[in-house]
A and B are shown apart, each in its own frame.
Chain A
Amino acid sequence: MQIGRQTYGYWLMTAPLFVVVVSLYGWPILSILWLSVSEPAPGLRNFAKLFEDNGLLHLIWTTVRVCLITTVLSVTAGYLIAYVMNFALEGQRRWLMAILLLSFWISVLVRAFAWLTLLSRNGVLNNFLVGAGLIDEPITFVRNELGVLIGMVHYMIPYAALPLFTNMHGIDGRIASASRSLGAGPFTTFWRIFLPMTRPGIVAASSLVFIISLGFYVTPAILGGGKVLMIAEYVSVQILVTQKWGVASMLATLMLMGVFGVLLVLSRFMKLSEAFGAR
C-alpha cells in the first residue's frame, strides 16, 4: 500500500501527455488504418487495387528502390565519417560531431532549396561548368531520380553516422591493437575484427535511415520535380486534391507496416531503446 501511495503522484504526472497523445494522435492514426478497409466500401478492395493497378506497383517500387539506394549510400558515407571520428584526436572529433549535429538540424526545406539552386539547369554548378568550357550542355542533376537521391542521401548521412559512432565508441580499442600485434595487417584487422563488431551499429543505422526515407515528402517533391513520384507525395495529392481517402489510407497502412516490420526485425537484434535512445 505504501509503495502504491508513493508512486500514485508519479503515475498522475504521466497522465496529461498520455491522454493528449492517445486521444489526439493514437486514435486518429488508428482511424486512418481503419479507413483503408472501410472506405469507400467495407472490405479489402483498396488492397486488391495493388494487383490491378500497375501505376500503384510502380509507385511502391520507385519508393522502395529510392529508399534502398539512399540507405546503402548514406550508411556507407556515415560509416566512414563515424570511423574517422572514432579514431581521430579529441579536438577533430568534437568539430566533426558539431558539423554532424548542425547539418542534422538544418531545415529539410532549406536544403532542398539549396540543392535546387546549385544543381538546376541554369544553376550555380551548371553555369560554372559551361562557363569554364568543361561541358557544352547543362547536365540534368535535378528534377529526376538523381536529384532526389542527392537530396535524400545528403539529409540521411548524419542519421546514419550518429548511431554508428555510438556503436564504434563502445568497442574496446585494445582489440584492434591485439589483432595487429598478433600479426594481422590493417586490412585484415578491419575486415575480420572491426567490421563484424560494428554490425549492430550498421543494422541500427540502416533501419533508421530506411524507416525515415520511406516517408520522405519534401525532398522528392522539390528535387524530383514531379517526375519521381514517391508514396508520400502521391498520398498528399490523393487527399488534398482528389479527396480519395481509400487508396491513400491503404498506402499509409502499407507504409506503417513497412516501418513496424523493420522495427520488429531490428528488435530481434537489439533493444530498440539502445538502437535509438542513445542519440
Chain B
Amino acid sequence: MSMARKNSLFSFRSLLIVAWIMCGILVLPALVAIPVSLTPKRFLSLPSGELSLQHYATLFTSDLWVGSAWQSLVIATSSMVLATGLGTFCAVGLWRVSSRFSELLRVVLLLPLIIPPIISAMAFYRTWVKLELIDTYAGMIVAHAILSSPMVMISVSAALANFDVRLEQASRNLGASVTTTLWRVIIPAIKPGIFSGAIFAFILSWDETVVALFISKFDVYTLPRRMWDGIRENTDPAVAAAAVVTISITLIAMLLAFWISKRSARHLESA
C-alpha cells in the first residue's frame, strides 16, 4: 500500500494537508470577528496595539442590543419548547403507525426544511398580517417552531430507530396504556435524541434572519435582525461583538449536543 501510494499522482499526505487547509478556511474566517470586536476605534478595523472592551460595553449596556438579545433568547427558548413537544410526539406517533398515509405525512412535515426560507417568509408574512400576528412574540415563536420542527422530527426519529420495539410491545402487553408507555418507557429511552433535537431547534431560531426580516418590525427586533442592520450600515464594531457572542452561544450549544450524544453512546454500551 505504501509503495502504491508513492506511485499515485497525489500522495494521500498531500490530500490530507489540502483537506485540513479547506476545513481551516471553513471555520477560521468567522474568528476575525474576535480581533475586530476588540478594536479601540469607532469603525470596523483591526486593532493595532492596544485592545479595548468598549464595544462589548456598548453591547451589554445599550438598551437596543440588550433588548434584542433578550427577545432572541425568549423567542428561541419558547419556539424550542414548542417544536420539541410537537415534534417528539409526532415522531413517536409516526414511528408506531406505518402506512402509505404516514409516509405522506412525514413528507408534508419535512416541508419547512425543504422550502426556501424566503418563500416561508412570504407565506408567514401574508398569513400573520391576517391573523394580526405581525411584530408579536407569538408570531415569531410559532413561525420559528414550525421551521425547526423537522429538525426535532429527524433527531427523535433517529433515536427511535435504535430503540427496541419489543420494549414498547412488552409494556403494552403488560397492560400499560399508550400514555404510560410513552412517559415511562419510550421517552426515557430516546431522551438524547430529544435533547439534541431541542438544541438544533434553539440554534435555528437564535440565528434565523430571513423570516424575522418579514414578520417583525418595531416591537420585536431579534439579535440577527439588529446585526443585519449593523452589517448593512457597515460602521458599528458592536456588530463584531454581537457576532462573537452569537458564535459563542452556537459553540456552547454544539458542545452540549456532542456531550449528550457521547454520554448516551456510553450508556448504550454499558446497557
B89 contacts chain A at the CB level, 8 A cutoff: yes
Using A14-B105, A28-B123, A186-B4 as known contacts, say yes or no to A83 and B90 having CB atoms under 8 A apart. Answer: no
In the complex, A155 Cα to B172 Cα: how many Å?
Answer: 47
The distance from the CB of B106 to the nearest CB of chain A, in whole angstroms, is 8
Complex contacts, B154 vs chain A, CB 8 Å:
277, 279
- Give Cα A158 to B25, complex, Å: 12
**A100 contacts B23, C-beta separation under 8 Å:** yes
Report whether A235 and B118 are in contact in the complex, using a CB–CB cutoff of 8 Å: yes
The proximity string for B residues 112-127 relative to A, scoring 1 for CB distances below 8 Å and 0 otherwise, is: 1011111111111111
Cβ–Cβ contact B114 & A259, under 8 A = yes
Q: Give the number of A-B contacts (CB < 8 Å).
A: 244
Instruction: Please tell me which one of the listed residues B19, B93, B247 contacts residue A14 in the complex, with CB atoms under 8 A apart.
Output: B93
Contacting residues, chain A, for B74 (C-beta < 8 A):
none
Contact (Cβ within 8 A) B30 A111: yes
Question: In the complex, what's the smallest C-beta–C-beta distance from B27 to chain A, in angstroms?
Answer: 5
Number of interface residues of A (CB under 8 A): 87
Q: Judge whether B270 is part of the interface by a CB distance below 8 angstroms.
A: no
- Mostly, the B contact residues are helix
Contact A6 B254 (CB under 8 A): no
Given A21-B112, A84-B15, A114-B243, A186 contacting B9 (CB threshold 8 A): yes
A51 within 8 A of B: no
- Cβ–Cβ < 8 Å partners of A113 in chain B: 33, 227, 231, 239-240, 243
Residues of B with C-beta under 8 A to A21: 108-109, 111-112, 146, 149
Whether B33 contacts A117 by the Cβ 8 Å rule is yes
Instruction: Please state if A32 and B122 are interface contacts (CB–CB under 8 Å).
Output: yes
What 0/1 pattern do residues 201 to 238 of B give for CB contact below 8 A with A?
A: 00100110110011000000000100110011010000
Determine whether the beta carbon of A105 is less than 8 Å from that of B127: no
Using a CB-CB cutoff of 8 Å, which residues 86-110 of chain B contact chain A?
A: 86-87, 89-90, 92-97, 102, 105-109
Given the complex of chains A and B, what is the CA–CA distance between A17 and B209 in angstroms? 23
* Residues of chain A in range 24-60 having any CB-CB distance to chain B below 8 Å: 24-29, 31-32
Contact in complex: B118, A109 (CB < 8 Å): no
Q: Is A218 an interface residue (CB 8 A)?
A: yes
| CB-CB nearest in chain B for A258 | B116
Assess the A252–B118 pair: CB atoms within 8 A: yes
Residues of A near B250 (CB, < 8 A) are 105-107
| B4 contacts A107, C-beta separation under 8 Å | no
A195 within 8 A of B: no
B26:A116 contact, CB within 8 angstroms = no
B231 to chain A, nearest CB (A): 5
Counting chain B residues whose Cβ lies within 8 A of the other chain, the interface size class is 35 or more
Q: A77 and B22 in contact (CB under 8 A), knowing A25-B123, A109-B224?
A: yes
Please tell me which stretch of A133-141, A196-204, A209-217 contacts chain B, meaning at least 4 of its Cβ atoms lie within 8 angstroms of it.
Answer: A209-217
Q: Are B111 and A10 in contact (CB under 8 A)?
A: no
Assuming A21-B111, A105-B250, A109-B224, is B118 touching A14 (CB within 8 A)?
no
Asked if B251 contacts A114 (CB within 8 A), the reply is: no
* Chain B residues with CB under 8 A of A212: 116
> A99 is contacted by which of B12, B26, B29, B127 (Cβ under 8 Å)?
B26
- Alpha-carbon distance between A11 and B95 when the two chains are bound, in angstroms: 10
Which residues of chain B from 158 to 197 have a CB within 8 Å of any chain A CB?
Answer: 172, 177-179, 182
B265 at the interface (CB under 8 A from A): no
Known contacts A17-B87, A99-B26; 18 additional CB pairs below 8 A are A14-B93, A17-B86, A21-B108, A96-B20, A103-B27, A105-B253, A107-B246, A111-B30, A113-B33, A116-B234, A157-B26, A185-B8, A186-B4, A186-B7, A187-B9, A217-B117, A217-B209, A277-B154
**Nearest 6 interchain pairs by C-beta:** A215-B116, A13-B93, A9-B178, A186-B8, A28-B123, A14-B93
Name 13 interchain pairs, CB-CB below 8 A, sorted by A. A6-B172, A10-B94, A10-B96, A11-B93, A18-B109, A31-B127, A77-B22, A109-B209, A110-B227, A124-B46, A217-B210, A249-B122, A263-B114
